[in-house]
Amino acid sequence: MKTIAPVAKAKIIRWQQGNAQEVSDLLALEAPLQVRLQFGEGADWQEMELATTMRTPGHDMDWAYGFLFSEGIIKQKEDVLLMRYCKRVKPEEEGNVLIVKLSPLVSLDLSSLKRNFFMNSSCGICGKAAIQSVTCDKIPIQEDGSRVSLKMLVDMQDQMAMEQTIFKYTGGIHGAALFGRDGKLLFLREDIGRHNALDKVIGAALQMKSSIMNNSILLLSGRISFELIQKAAVAKIPIVVAVGAPSSLAIDLAEEKGITAIGFLKSKSFNVYSYPERVDFNI
C-alpha cells in the first residue's frame, strides 16, 4: 500500500517588496477518505459505506477509531476486529478507503447510521435539539483535583507549536493536542479539518487507554465550535482550550456536559466560559 504524503508541491508567484518571482511552495493536502463498515456474525456479514470525509492523509486509522467512537458506533478499541486499507479499489483510490470490521458483540442501529452527522455548522436544526442529540453523561468526577494556570497553558501552546510539523511548512492546517493534567503532551494530530484533527487525537488515545482522556486537557489551534465540544463530551475530556473564540452553542453544550471551556489563549490572558473551578487564577 502506497503512503500518501500530507503535503503537495505547487508553483506559485510570490510578490514581495515590489518584485514578483516564481517559486515552489508546499500546500496541505486535502483528499477524501472513505470508511466501509463490515458487521454481522457468522455467514451474515454485511458491508456498507459509512462516511467519507475530506482529510489530510496521515494517522487515518486514528481518525477512524476517533470518528467511530465520537459517533457512538464503538465504545472501546476491542469493538474493532480489523482495520485496513481496501486493496480492491481504483488506482486513484488507493490509500483512501478504509475497511473496518466490527466485533459481532457490537450492537449496531442501522437507522441511526443513516442520519446526518454533525459535520458542519449548518445542520439545519435548532440549538436545543443539537444539544439534546449529544447522548452522553456529564463529565464524571474522576479528576486529580489539579487546576490549570496561564503558565501551564502557555507552556502547552509552545509544545504544540513545536510539534506542528505540517503547519510549519504550509500554514494551512489545524492542530489538536491532548495533554495530561501535568501539562505534558500525550498526543498531537494535524488535519485540514479541525474535527478530523480531534478525531485523530481521540482515536490515538482510545487505542492506548481511553480513560486517560477523563483527566486531560485538550488544546485546539483554532476556534471552539459545537462539534468539537460534542466530541470532547463523548470522550469525557473535562477541559477544552483554544487560541480562538468559542461559539455560543459550543458554550451551551459545555455548560450542559460539565466541560471547562477556555478561549482566546494568549501569552498574558485567556477567557474562561464555563466551570472556572478547574482554573488557577493566582498567577
Catalytic residue among 86, 123, 126, 136: 123
Q: Phi-psi bin for 124: left (phi > 0), alpha (psi -120 to 50), beta?
A: left
Strand spans (E) along 215-255: 216-220, 239-242
Q: Phi-psi bin for 59: left (phi > 0), alpha (psi -120 to 50), beta?
A: left
**Under 8 Å between Cβ of 176 and 198:** yes
Check if 123 is active-site.
yes
Q: List the grid coordinates of 197.
A: 484533527
Residue 172 one-letter amino acid: G
H/E run at residue 8: strand 7-16
The total number of residues shown for the chain amounts to 283
Q: At 145, give phi and psi (nearest 5°).
A: 85, -5
Distances (CA, A) of 218 to 36, 47, 141, 177, 185: 29, 34, 17, 6, 10
281 HSE (CA, 13 A, CB side): 7
Strand spans (E) along 56-184: 80-85, 97-102, 174-180
Active site positions, annotated:
123
